[in-house]
Structure 1
Amino acid sequence: MRFVLTALAFCVLPLAGAAQTDARIHYLQRAVPPPPTLSDLDTPPGDLGVAGARLAIDDNATTGRFLGQSYALDATRVAADADLAAAARAALAGTDLLILDAPADDVLAVADLPEARGALIFNVAAPDTNLRDADCRANLLHTLPSTQMRTDALAQFFVLKKWTDLPMIAGGHASDQAFAASMERSLAKYGLKPGPRKEWRFDANMRRNASAEVPLFTQGFGRYDALIVADEIHDFGRYILYNTWEPRPVTGSEGLTPVGWDRVVEQWGAAQLQNRFTDLAARAMQPRDYAAWAAIRTLGEAVTRTGATDAATLRAYILSPDFELGGFLGRPLTFRAWNGQMRQPIPLVHPRALVAQAPLDGFLHPVTELDTIGLDAPESRCEAFAP
């Protein structure tokens, strides 16, 4: 499926003397069927991600029309069994600015295309920490927080609360296992000892059996401070809450959850962004929508400041100390020059409210506290960004 969205200036003349600047951006998405889960309550919206891109194009146009700038968004959705590389080559033939909504393997495959060597690609869907580490690419930036950024944020909360006894239940999906491994690394990073870990392997209908199965499954943990659930596909975690043997907080993929964005974020002007997104998409903004919005707003800010639209100039500015983006998260958003990850606070939420936002008070850093979550420069094995 292919469609074109264009935001141009209508009825408003650009400032006198301003040169016309046209930026074309391509949103390339791999259609990934959701894995089977125990509940069908969380069907992903059909416009996930691209709706955030559409809003950002509108936002860029609001400023751009006064500066002689126009923004066009092409969007291509590639079936799960189709050739993403071919679609990427076609997209790159029209622009060197690409928003990529795809799993990690696809992200690397596209970034490594000869046609992409001089492009600027934003990863808005793959949280894999390795893409910001040893598998980084010089032409690849990330506006979706990494899994480690999210687990570091949760570990900071545990330290603040003095919760030290932290067992975990991990699902069998690859993303569940990645979250569990990252959580254990984050606990160690902040001086906490990972607790006992159980693997969830039930295939029963938990909607009927949760009250009987979960207490027995969690009884062996004994007494503890909080339970961590690694269920990134949202399969079984919802049945853990209020069914554990010990009445304790549930955290991780359910309960208290670290996210890139959530509808309960309302401070710092976020309610205005939430309302505009709801008007456009008739639903709440999700983390992938926010990542796509931030990617295109990053490009808009860079075009405004540099007056250029080529990937090399924009990349250099985005990674420079001069760049910052207002992202409705209470702090300016910038990019790590050593691996291309966008620095961003991580909200810790439950379904009805924002509980806290990392980095939390007391976690200090010589440059910016935002670098206490995720891979800091000394931790990173990324070599592609070396000067």
Structure 2
Amino acid sequence: MLHPVAVRRQGCIKAIAATVVLCLAAVLPTLAMAQVRKPGPPVTATAAMTYLTRAYPEPLPLSLVEPVITDKGIKGAEVALSDNQTTGRLLGHAYTLSTRIVAADADIAAAMRDVLASGSSLIVADLEAADLLAVADIPEAKDALIINTRSSNDDLRGKSCRRNVFHAAPSWAMRADALSQYLTWKQWRKLFVVYGENAADQEYVAAIKRAAKRFGNKIVDERKFTFDAGNRRTDTGHQQIQTQMPLLTQGPPEHDLIFVADLDEAFGEYLMWRTSVAKPVIGTQGLMALAWHRAFEQYGGTQLQSRFEKHAKRQMIERDYLGWLGTRLIGEAITRIGQADAASVRAFLLSPEFEVAGFKGQGMTFRTWDRQLRQPILLTGPRALVSISPQEGFLHPKFLTYTLGFDEAETQCTQRN
């Protein structure tokens, strides 16, 4: 005969087991039903998007700390495709994304013709300025939607603007204004400018000159970097650089900061800690004006960063964000209007009803006069956010983000929609 305590223990075990069985009996059918996805509504809009880019030569990483990335931008577009498809399944909208990488010496216009002939007229264009104009100007692309996710060239928003080109990437003017507003807020007025031989370097210099005049700052000197930085991987590489940078920056007028424009990453990183006069560095190195940064966590940014890292197995850089944003712009418009033809999407992008969430704390919309997406600009160091422009106190009668870049009265764009 069992002891009374053992009997009670056995009874408790049986009761618990019975409860578990009842719970499983109630839950398992529900779980089984959940595994069977109910068919969504019939497809009423199909968006065939193309990510178009060229195999441009990329600057080599400055050190072993930086990974070699061969799919910049593309992975961001893929994450946005998944976002679009998630919403599309509920609304009867279908999305596809093809990636076309054109060889460095191939005809980009011919590649664009092939893309259009395949039935895709919604183009996310990761192209430099000359290639962007080449694809926009072919007759077959007249009614296409081309979203620029790479070039910051100001002429693309000004005298070289095109009706079929919309700009997700911030312009040089927007980046320069974002920096200059912060310098004005800090009362750091005097800039010593150093730039490289890349045409884009000189475009950024032109933008910072405009911004300095606009916000009450001053360029006290400017110098072009004309000699090769020492090989950092040789045993004496650091010594060569340590000698070159003071020579480049010696004897300048009194200044508060050094503005560097070095898109090729040939020398800009070496200015810090090596200048003849100890000053902070801003521009393409040091304090940078970016659409996105891997350290940004505010306004739900951590969620986007995490989803991207899960998909790409690496951190999200600015090019990835712009690829994501360009693809989401298309998806957001189609979600709102239920149509996927380029003409309808283009019209809605410029309408007062359109805005897209970009994890920056406010809805982002297009300027109707040059088709530039207005957006906050992050001011970041290499590893942390410093500030976000527009800065406090810089006002505009419509949107504060209109203080970044060319306002309607300043634009040279004549191809209005």
Q: TM-score range by the shorter chain?
A: over 0.9
State which of 219, 228, 237 in structure 1 corresponds to 2:259: 228
3-state SS of the aligned residue for 2:241? Answer: helix
One-letter amino acid matched to 2:48: R
Which of 146, 149, 162 is matched with 1:137 structurally? 162
* Aligned counterpart in structure 1 of residue 213 of structure 2, from 165, 176, 188: 188
Q: Matched residues in 2 for 1:88 and 1:203: separation?
A: 37
Structure 2 length as normaliser, TM-score? 0.86
Cα 1:359–1:12 change in 2 (3 A) is farther
Q: Give structure 2 stretches of 5+ with no counterpart.
A: 1-34, 233-237
User: How far did 1:195 drift?
Assistant: 1.7
Aligned to 2:392: 361
Deviation at 1:211, TM superposition (A): 2.1
Deviation of residue 222 (structure 1)? 4.7
Over 3 Å counting, the alpha-carbon distance change for 1:199 and 1:22 in structure 2 is same
Aligned partner (choices 329, 343, 349) of residue 298 of structure 1: 329
Name the SS of the counterpart of 1:28 in structure 2.
strand
Matched, 1:270 2:301: yes
Tell me, in whole angstroms, the C-alpha distance in 1 between the residues paired with 2:132 and 2:102. Answer: 13
For residue 14 of structure 1, report the CA deviation from its aligned partner.
Answer: 5.6
Aligned-partner SS, 2:218? coil
What is aligned with 1:205? 230
SS of 2:294's partner is: coil
Deviation at 1:189, TM superposition (A): 1.5
Contact 2:247–2:276 (8 Å) recurs in 1: yes
Q: Distance in 2 between matches of 1:199 and 1:185?
A: 18
- 1:32 equivalent to 2:60? Answer no
User: How many angstroms apart in 2 are the aligned matches of 1:348 and 1:101?
Assistant: 23
The residue aligned with 1:337 is 368
2:102 to 70, 78, 88: 78
Q: Greater CA deviation, 132-141 or 230-239? A: 230-239
8 Å contact kept, 2:229–2:241: no
Distance, in Å, in 1 between the alignment partners of 2:148 and 2:333 is: 17
Measured after TM superposition, the shift of residue 214 of structure 1 is 1.7
The residue number in structure 2 matching 1:119 is 144
Deviations 1:127-185 (A, max 9, x none): 11100111010011011111111111001111001011211111112121111121111
Query: What is the rounded CA distance, in whole Å, between the counterparts of 1:15 and 1:319 in structure 2?
Result: 30
1:219, CA displacement in angstroms?
A: 2.5
Larger Rg: 2
Whether contact under 8 Å (1:345, 1:359) holds in the other structure is yes
Partner of 1:6: none
**Alpha-carbon contact 1:349-1:356 (below 8 Å) kept:** yes
Report the Cα offset of residue 40 of structure 1: 7.9
Distance in structure 1 (CA, Å) of the matches to 2:399 and 2:255: 33
Structure-1 residue corresponding to 2:46: 22
Unmatched 5+ residue regions in structure 1?
Answer: 1-9
- For 1:47 and 1:155, locate their aligned partners in 2 and report how far apart those are by CA, in whole Å: 32
Q: Matches of 1:213 and 1:257 in 2, distance apart? A: 23
Secondary structure of the residue that 1:335 maps to in structure 2? coil
| 1:287-332 Cα deviation digits (max 9, x unpaired) | 2211111111111111111010011111111111100111001111
For the pair 1:254 / 2:285, whether they are aligned, the reply is yes
Q: Once the two structures are aligned, what percentage of the paired residues are identical?
A: 44
**Which residue is equivalent to 1:214?**
245
Distance 1:299 1:352, change over 3 A: same
Letter in 1 for 2:392: D
CA–CA separation in structure 1 for the residues paired with 2:160 and 2:246: 41
Distance in 2 of aligned mates of 1:235 and 1:39? 12
Equivalent residue letter for 1:224: H
Q: Is the 8 A contact 2:287 2:379 kept in 1?
A: yes
Could you tell me which residue of structure 2 aligns to residue 105 of structure 1? 130
- The AA in structure 2 aligned to 1:153 is A
Quote how far apart the aligned CAs of 1:194 are.
1.4
2:344 is the alignment partner of 1:320 = no
